[in-house]
Amino acid sequence: MTSKVFAPAKINLTLHVTGQRNDGYHLLDSLVVFADLGDRLWFTPQDHLSLKVTGPFADGVPADERNLVWKAAKSVGHTAAITLEKNLPHGAGIGGGSSDAAAVLRHFGKGENAALLGADVPVCLAGRAQRMQGVGDELTGVLGLPALHAVLVHPGVHVPTPEVFKALKDNQNSAMSKVLPSPETTLDFIDWLSSQRNDLEVPAVSAAPEIKSALDAINRCAGTMLSRMSGSGSTCFGLFENSTDAQQAARSIGTAQSHWWVRSCVLT
Ligand code: C5P
């Protein structure tokens, strides 16, 4: 019997870099949520591991042991015929590969060694709103956040994560408040988010000015309440009060920049 697993896009609503460990990894304080769009995986039992990659972003994605999906299945010692439908741009700050790996661990019911597959895999395994601290390994569930109407914009450039961290001038920045607020309305939530940051945005924009173009395009849309980059980029998100504004923004950015990946979605 074939089973299907959804691997949602991960969005860092905030990403504060608060320090660096001796091994070079950075200490983070990040509020992470998930979108209602993402990759999809199908698992059919068989006695060896195989992987087929399909979908709009399949190009250039290895279908062998280099793929995190393969590594995740190997790490838990399970086999299956896996089909991965890549709907998300990869290396884009929205956790594509990490979310795919987490989907594999979830399917096989084994997540103990998620962090060994990558810093974002544990939060993707959680799959719902989390405060992510440490190097990505300290997770605290965040309940009761209002859903957010968003547009995601990937301006077609890829900036390697290590490069962005390396270009960060100051890695000793303030954390979020010890206790996160419990906003009752979308507007209160966005208002608080506006006072937070993604510390990787400045170094990522220096490496790839297209990211600034994406943020500018989001800011020009009617009803944009906040624009920010997710993760180490290059995907940026815009937040809106309602789905009509988010969908309209996606249409207008997508029309003006037909080579960018632009989607409206709900973040929860
Ligand atoms: O763990 P992952 O392979 O996703 O991390 C990619 C790179 O991002 C690391 O090699 C490191 O340069 C950087 N990174 C970091 N601090 C973190 C997470 C990632 O410096 N907490």
What is the per-residue pLDDT for 214? 98
Beta-carbon contacts of residue 45 (< 8 Å; ≥ 6 apart): 1, 79, 80, 81
Which atom of ligand 1 is least distant from the CA of 121? 4
What is the per-residue pLDDT for 121? 97
Distance of CA 249 from the midpoint of ligand 1 (Å)? 32
What is the per-residue pLDDT for 48? 98
Give the span between the Cα atoms of 52 and 59, in whole angstroms: 12
Q: What is the CA radius of gyration of the chain?
A: 18
Q: Which of 18, 21, 25 to mutate to test the pocket of ligand 1 (most atoms within 8 A of CB)?
A: 25
Please check whether residue 17 is in contact with residue 27, taking contact to mean a CB–CB distance below 8 angstroms: yes
Residue 52 annotated to the active site: no
Backbone angles phi, psi at 132, to 5 degrees: -110, 120
Beta-carbon contacts of residue 20 (< 8 Å; ≥ 6 apart): 26, 27, 171
Give the span between the Cα atoms of 107 and 116, in whole angstroms: 18
Give the span between the Cα atoms of 143 and 140, in whole angstroms: 10
Distance of CA 51 from the midpoint of ligand 1 (Å)? 26
What is the per-residue pLDDT for 212? 98
> How many helices and strands in the chain, by DSSP H and E?
8, 11
Q: Which of 16, 26, 120, 168 to mutate to test the pocket of ligand 1 (most atoms within 8 A of CB)?
A: 26
Q: Which of 16, 165, 232 to mutate to test the pocket of ligand 1 (most atoms within 8 A of CB)?
A: 165
Mean pLDDT by 10 residues, the chain (268 residues): 97 98 97 98 98 97 98 97 97 96 97 94 97 97 97 97 97 98 96 98 98 98 98 98 98 98 98
Distance of CA 104 from the midpoint of ligand 1 (Å)? 21
Q: Name which residue sits closest to atom 7 of ligand 1, judged by CA.
A: 162
Which atom of ligand 1 is least distant from the CA of 27? 21
Q: Count of CB atoms within 10 A of residue 74's CB?
A: 14
What is the per-residue pLDDT for 54? 98
Output the pTM of the full model: 0.97
What is the per-residue pLDDT for 221? 98
What residue ranges line ligand 1, CB within 6 angstroms? 25-26, 28, 118-120, 135-136, 161-162, 165
What is the per-residue pLDDT for 238? 98
Which atom of ligand 1 is least distant from the CA of 26? 16
What is the per-residue pLDDT for 143? 96
Please check whether residue 57 is in contact with residue 85, taking contact to mean a CB–CB distance below 8 angstroms: no
Q: Name which residue sits closest to atom 13 of ligand 1, judged by CA.
A: 162
Residue 120 annotated to the active site: yes
